[in-house]
Structure 1
Amino acid sequence: MPSRSSARLAALTVAAVCSAASAAQMVVVPTPAHADSVRIHDIQGTTRISPLAAQQVADVPGVVTATRTYGSSKGFWIQDPTPDDDPATSEGVFVFTSSTPKVAVGDSVKVTGTVSEYVPGGASSGNQSVTEVTKPTITTVSTGNEVPAPAVIDEDAVPDEYAPTGDTAAAGSVNGLTLDPSAYALDYYESLEGMNVQVADTRVVTATDPYSELWVTVKPWEHRNRRGGTVYGSYDSQNTGRLQIQSLGPTADFPKANVGDTLEGTTTGPLDFNQFGGYTLVASKLGTLQSGGLERETTQKQSRGELAVATYNVENLDPSDATFDQHAAAIVNNLQSPDIVSLEEIQDNNGAKDDGTVDASETVKKLIDAIVAAGGPQYDWRSINPVNDQDGGEPGGNIRQVFLFNPERVSFVDRAGGDSTTAVGVTKVHGKAQLTASPGRIDPTNAAWKSSRKPLAGEFVFRGKTVFVIANHLNSKGGDQGLTAQYQPPVRSSEIQRHAQATEVNAFVKNILDVQKNANVIALGDMNDFEFSETAKILEGDGELWSAIKSLPRSERYTYDYQGNEQVLDQILISSAIRRGCDFAYDSVHINSEFNDQISDHDPQILRFRP
């Protein structure tokens, strides 16, 4: 995820738009358009880009509905109390002052300035732009006026279709398309840009984050699951009721919500668009938080004859963190002390300090000690240190995958030869598959793994049966265009590398199965992609593997919660020898993703089976 800052992250982009795509060009019209011909709905127009972009306008009337006095995005919103009859034209607009505005809510003003199109995150982000008036001169006509009544956003107002297909002649941009707010959700929200809006009695679908933001849904039954979230199950069926909520007031007062909680009553404020979530209700009035009573889950304990294998992304864990006891309690209590745990995002011994340190023994030992203190087993562990600063993640952190295993229940087959740059292979010994090195890394010098984590392969034995486990942390989704991008459908550029990585993992699994058709093989970890994605299909191949989270009902398939969408990023894929026995159980153990006090942004996954 990109760095979060309250500052404006890109300069104002003033679009003199001759095409549907965003442009960054300033044109000054010497003679301003006057208020007798220009009102806010004329500035907003019927497309996402103002027909007056880069032009000067004079004496545009409106009533101040809200002021923003924090960060570098200071200014205020005005709304025309006399709207036109075109539902495609917004009646509100943001006036960017750059310093604390000298107007108050209820002031009737006239604004002279330049119409601009500001792209949060910059043009390279692919984001939609926000129509603004910049370099303003403000005249206060009167004070204490009634603020225009908010437009009500609810399930009846928001269309079920998400967005129109972008114009192919404009690289897929929707900027030049005429808004159809009765047909498309994104068009509907755009038609309210800058206006005073309201939601009522909305359910929280992404918990409050560290930046005092949360997500609600205005469609109570849209892909709802039993824990109160909204599940993301397809590229073709977007959840249109999602809306981000921020506050104009002090963030210290912002509610600490979990998924399934409710903002009771009305939440009211201007509709904005930002880099980190798109359309956002910036609340001048927040509803009252009502707890839904969500509790963290606990999985079932494995039986004596079951092997329990888990994957858990512990989010950049290093010795300076204060979360070791909590992670240990989660592993011991919520995961019931699995026999094997694949950990992702274990950092080196000094975390993000970039001094050449790559060893992570202190990090792992601190976690193992905390597990013992929490009443868990004395885990042993295996890993391979990466080459310094070659595996992506936080600079200097050198994140890697680590196997924890309970030596009282399962043994690890140590076979020398594995290191950070040597590829592990597969041989045939007495008719059975065997790794040439254990632990070992899959083709670590292949271009597919450039600046990304290399899969860690290990050979385990449980009750006399060999189990091959491959720990993965594939290329992140960073760099993909957001769901509210101006390009529809959004471009998922990160898939290119992830598909190459999935191809390498599947080929390695196929090597094992070519030697031993009935081998027990597990490929697990943070795959950074959905169970229905092309990445998952490549991993599964021609039946070499199968993503076991698909054994759950669709409403229970999620490991991560992002922008109101509960989705799958972490997976455990199993070979046919495990799947065909039908003697396995899968659990996505929800202890983090739905909670505002999460210790990781991922939920752990666990598989129990009888080899």
Structure 2
Amino acid sequence: MAVLTAGLGTTAGQAAADTAPAACDAPATHQIAQVQGTGDTTPLNGQTVRVEGVVTGDYQGTDQLKGFFVQDPTPDSDPKTSDGLFVYSTKEVKPGDRVLVTGKAVEYSGLTELSPVTAVDVCGTGDIAPANVRLPLPAGTSAESYEGVLLRYTQRLTATETYQLGRYGEVTVSAGGRLFQPTDRPHPGDNAAAQAANNSRRLLIDDASTVQNPAKVPYTEPRLLRIGDTTTGLTGVLSQGFGSYRLQPTRAPKFAPTNPRTKKPRNVGGDVRVASFNTLNWFTTLNKRGADTAEEQERQLTKLVAALKGLNADVAGLMEVENNGDTAVKTLVDRLNAAVGAGTYSWIRHPNPGTDEIHVALIYKTKKVTPVGAARSSSAPVFERPPLVQTFQRKSGGAKFTMVVNHFKSKGCTGATGADKDQGDGQGCWNARRVTQAKAIADLAAGEENPLVLGDLNAYGEEDPVKVLTKAGLVAQTPRFVPARDRYSYVFDGQSGELDHALAGKGLSRRVTGATIWHINSDEPTIADYNTEFNPPSLYKPDAYRSSDHDPVLLGLNLR
């Protein structure tokens, strides 16, 4: 391609060529561009070819790709053809070697390559300068035209996904900051267009390794990479595999800690602090949804207590607590009290916890607030995990408020039929069920004094269930106090969004003094959690970070 430069005419390169074996006299039969072609696959599939190029990326280790990339120093003038190619061979080469390679042109997992290879002849040296690119690529330009090409990204890129960091050494970055779920906030055009725009801004960084769950995970030293951290000058060869284009770095990316951990949540003011926290399957029963071993359970409990201690909420609604009577919630409260003082917290017994393995729970500070009346719930059959409703008042008096703790149906598609199937609108499966649940909660809240509807609604900010609640007169609190860039509580498929909400009745909304989302979980790699199966032991810390996969929400209320 015209953006590439070559330097084969050096004295050292000529000397190496002069002393090369006779094999170097056998000329190339094709340019790399001819092997790549203008489409997604090689037009020479199955044919034996001989190409000439300069080695740009060497990944021949037994735990790597077992090959190297070469690039044509004399690219053609067609912007649709790539001038780089992967060679599946462990014949020793190094970056800068000018080579002539003979092999069969094939496609492997979307990548055009030579395999098997019958000859790799080192015939001198050369130099390939990286092509400067930016995301998103210009309209009409396909990533395929850069396959196998040495690239340098000339913009700041933001880590937007680390889910596969521990298992495969992969990180997804994006241009223009982190990616947000299209259904989480307003945007131009429809959700499909917004998703396409997101896809055009993202890039997967691979580690050129075939090892799963390596003992040494990249981007964990000197600090653990967080979503929101940034890198500049990213350089590598664009490869393809497993359904994605992926950059194989030629020099290790360095991420700046532009999204550092915070030791405590932002001050929300008020005289009563209220929180919502999905505990990610806090179970006292082993080998179910939560911990598999006693060691994991202890590690999980330690992290959950650290998070709850840091929140310092006077009342907290909890999701994904094992539905085994008072056992799981009591164990959590007992350990929390051991950390903050005996008798500090108690819990509300759920009058109708449902039949799911998990249920919602409520804990509160006994010296700060008093439960008013009995706990209530809903008998509506639409709830797998019925809400928990409890009115509270400050010990010293003042306005009452009513917690309505929820965990709506998830987006997973198992068992979905009819209107509950994925409708292709970005809201996932079971949206119709969540809408019905939201209507039931809106009706319930309408009969309560100063309702505060909170919890994991499994719906992003612009989705139908949230709109049902706001149209019923409930006021979403995080949009009032949390900047848009920080308004998220969960990350899925590299896109951030707000699944965990807090909506107040209009009267109570006037008493809300602040709201924040404490980003201790969603930005953290999963390898920092309590699990022991594959996580590097050194990454576990007895702190709040990655205590769950959801970030807790915290509100301040002025009830005097």
Q: Same fold judged by TM-score > 0.5?
A: yes
The corresponding residue for 2:93 is 104
Q: Which amino acid aligns with 2:300?
A: T
* Partner SS for 1:285: coil
Alpha-carbon separation, structure 1, partners of 2:166 and 2:325: 27
How many Å separate the matches in 2 of 1:318 and 1:76?
Answer: 48
The residue that corresponds to 2:463 in the other structure is 533
2:269 is the alignment partner of 1:339: no
Deviation at 1:286, TM superposition (A): 0.8
User: In the TM superposition, what is the alpha-carbon distance from 1:195 to its structure 2 partner?
Assistant: 2.1
| 2:355 aligned with 1:401 | no
Q: Does 1:52 align with 2:43?
A: yes
- 2:159–2:230 Cα contact (<8 Å) kept: no
Please list every run of 5 or more consecutive structure 2 residues that lacks an aligned counterpart in the other structure.
1-26, 285-295, 415-421, 529-544
Match of 1:314, as an amino acid?
A: T
Cα offsets for 1:262-314 (capped at 9, x unmatched): 546x44322234559x443222311345444723142336543x4x3322122
Percent of pairs with identical residues: 23
Encode CA deviations 1:495-532: one digit per residue, 9 max, x unaligned: 35342132122221343356x3x743333223334212
1:458-537 equivalences in 2 (<5 Å): 458-463=389-394, 465=400, 467-476=402-411, 492=424, 495-512=427-444, 516=447, 519-537=449-467
Give the aligned partner of residue 280 of structure 1.
246
> Shift of residue 577 of structure 1?
3.8
Q: Does 1:205 align with 2:159?
A: yes
1:205 and 1:230 in contact (8 A); partners too: no
Would you say the 8 A contact 1:243–1:279 is kept in 2? yes
Taking the aligned partners of 2:463 and 2:216, their CA distance within structure 1 comes to 39
Name the larger-Rg structure.
Answer: 2
Aligned to 1:191: 145
Which structure has more helix as a fraction of its residues? Answer: 2
Deviation of the 1:492 alpha carbon: 4.8
Name the structure 1 match of 2:236.
269
**Pairing 1:328–2:320 present:** no
| 1:605 CA displacement | 0.8
Tell me if 1:82 matches 2:74: yes
Letter in 1 for 2:226: N
The one-letter code matched in structure 2 to 1:140 is V
Structure 2 distance, partners of 1:290, 1:494, is: 32
Alignment map for 1:321-470 (pairs within 5 Å): 321=297, 322-333=299-310, 335=311, 337-346=312-321, 348=322, 359=324, 361-375=326-340, 377-383=344-350, 387=355, 398-408=357-367, 409-411=369-371, 413-414=373-374, 438-440=376-378, 442-443=380-381, 446=382, 454-463=385-394, 465=400, 467-470=402-405
2:302 is paired with a residue whose SS is: helix
Paired residue total: 459
Question: Which structure 1 segments of 5+ residues have no match?
Answer: 1-34, 119-129, 160-180, 349-357, 392-397, 416-437, 480-489
Q: What secondary structure sits across from 2:216 in the alignment? A: helix
Match of 2:505 in 1: 575
Q: Read off the aligned partner of 2:362 and give its amino acid letter.
A: F
1:456 partner amino acid: P
Q: CA deviation at 1:603?
A: 1.5
Contact 1:68 1:76 survives alignment (8 Å) = yes
1-side partners of 2:518 and 2:347: how far apart?
23
Measure, in 1, the Cα distance between the counterparts of 2:86 and 2:337. 56
Aligned-partner SS, 1:592: coil
Which of 508, 530, 553 is the matching residue for 1:605? 553
Tell me the equivalent position of 2:59.
67
Matched, 1:591 2:526: no
Structure 2 CA distance for aligned equivalents of residues 513 and 253 of structure 1 = 48
CA–CA distance in structure 2, aligned partners of residues 372 and 402 of structure 1: 16
User: 1:332 Cα deviation (Å)?
Assistant: 1.9
**Partner secondary structure for residue 255 of structure 1:** coil
| Other structure's SS at 2:461 match | coil
Q: Relative to 1, partners in 2 of residues 1:592 and 1:468: Cα closer, same or farther, differing over 3 Å?
A: closer
Match of 1:158 in 2: 135
Q: Any conservation in 2 of the 1:263–1:288 contact (CA below 8 Å)?
A: yes
Instruction: Tell me if the contact between 2:65 and 2:208 (Cα under 8 Å) persists in the aligned partners.
Output: no
Q: What's the CA shift for 1:104?
A: 3.4
What residue is the counterpart of 1:252 in the other structure? 216
What residue in structure 2 maps to residue 243 of structure 1?
203
2 CA distance for matches of 1:440 and 1:214? 43
Alignment check: 8 A CA contact 1:325 1:371 kept: no
RMSD: 3.9
Contact (CA 8 Å) 1:274, 1:280: kept in 2 or not?
A: yes
Offset from partner CA, 1:60-101 (integer Å, 9 cap, x none): 524443326567965543433332222232223445x5xx84
Q: Taking structure 1 as the reference length, what is the TM-score of the superposition? A: 0.64
Q: Which has the higher contact order (CA 8 A, sep 6+)?
A: 2
Q: Given the superposition, is the C-alpha separation of residues 468 and 368 from structure 1 closer, same or farther in structure 2, using an over 3 Å criterion?
A: closer
User: What's 1:171 paired with?
Assistant: none
Q: CA 1:513/1:456 → structure 2, altered by over 3 Å: closer, same or farther?
A: closer
Distance 1:586 1:317, change over 3 A: same
Q: TM-score normalized by structure 2?
A: 0.69
Distance 2:502 2:116 in 1: 56
Amino acid at match of 2:360: Q
